[in-house]
Structure 1
Amino acid sequence: MSNLYDYKRRPIVELLFSIIIPTIILMKFSGDDDLGATKALIFALYFPLSWGLYEFTKYRKFNFIALLGLVSVLLTGGIGLLQLDNQWLAIKEASIPAIIGLAVLISTRTRYPLIKTLIYNRKIMNTDKIKSRLDELNTTDIFENRLLIATYLLSSTFFFSAVMNYILAKWIVTSPAGSSAFNEELGQMTLLSYPVIAIPSMLMMLAIIYYLWRTIQGLTMLRLEEVFIHKETQ
């Protein structure tokens, strides 16, 4: 029988909890004859917040990006419930991906660059075999330079998200916080964020993975099935 851990790996369920359900609540149930602006906002925020908390308790280890996601949800709720100026919403929407982008850049000065956590890791690539072949062919230094380029490209995807988040928030959310119109606009922004921001960012991420794959193939002569990890079917 499938459990909730299996659902976490299903994009449809992730999309349902994070975007679809909150959007429907905000856009359709914020009127005074329904839940009202405040209750609708609290109810809509419950779904992504509870899903994020579930992931924290399930993995039982620190996840920087997941933590930022939870903070983002809480800040969105705080801005709406405290009826703060909409400028703070735009700043909040831009700040989360911008912080991640800066963290990616700063990590290049440490022993643990974030690209090795997000992309070049043992769950995605056979890093031990790659390292062994790089050492054998004396191409490790070239690979490290290419990995640095990939890190800069990775950070650029988050900066792209930051700019687009800010533009989208300023463009769509114009009504006073705490009103039913504000909730409806927040729902529209959430809905549009997927095709406008998430999909382009995903394509950029896939392009980085392809860049790494071409780099590894050229420097190690390993085949595709030797580079990427394949889960065994049970």
Structure 2
Amino acid sequence: MALDFSGIREQADSGARKVFFSLSLKAWLLVALFVFCFLLIVFFQLQGLIASLLLILAFILLLIFLKPRPSLQQQMDLIVQQSKEAEKRFLKHLIDEHTFSQIRLENEKKLIGIEAALKREQNPQSLLDLESSELDVRKRHKLKELLLEKDQAVLELEIAKQRYYKHRLDEKFFQEISSEKQKRLVELDTLISELYKLEAKEIMQDTERRLKQAGVKQDSEGVDETMQPSRRRRLKRQ
């Protein structure tokens, strides 16, 4: 009976692709650095202390940057545990009410921010098409950062409202968080509009300059040089 290994091969290929694409760009750059150090040693015949230092440096960088970071859900769980620990200390009169309130507020802000990031990962929304805009690369990058920050602030404000309506956030904390987010949204809208105004102003100035140059060129080409000076002046006035 012949065995069909096609399914196993496809699963293996799929797993390899997942591993390949799961590694970040930073990880691949560090691997490339390690390989580059090794090639330096081989081709330039570096020996002894220099070769050892290069390999140790590459290995340390790999350990530092390839160290797994806690996921958003793990960060959220850690903050929840911190809030519970603060509540225990408050009930045992180990911290005062003001300190406990500040810890709760800061943790609520962090939780709302992480929840907004999780929501954006699960439901990615495409921003406006910046590639076709008149903005240059630097301003386009800045505008994208502002739009992403605005999207994050709007999500955090929506989550804060949901927590307040579900009685998971008291009114005092909700008002403070809402005021902070509304203030930041005003600042972001101002920065975005100013960026567009500056770009529009530059485009208009460039357009006017080109129109003036085109107008001068047409005048000079439309007048016959063989005409008398007085006739040329009358045509120009017309």
Q: TM-score, normalised by structure 1?
A: 0.30
RCO comparison, higher one (Cα < 8 Å, 6+):
1
Q: Which has the larger radius of gyration?
A: 2
Give the TM-score normalised by structure 2.
Answer: 0.29
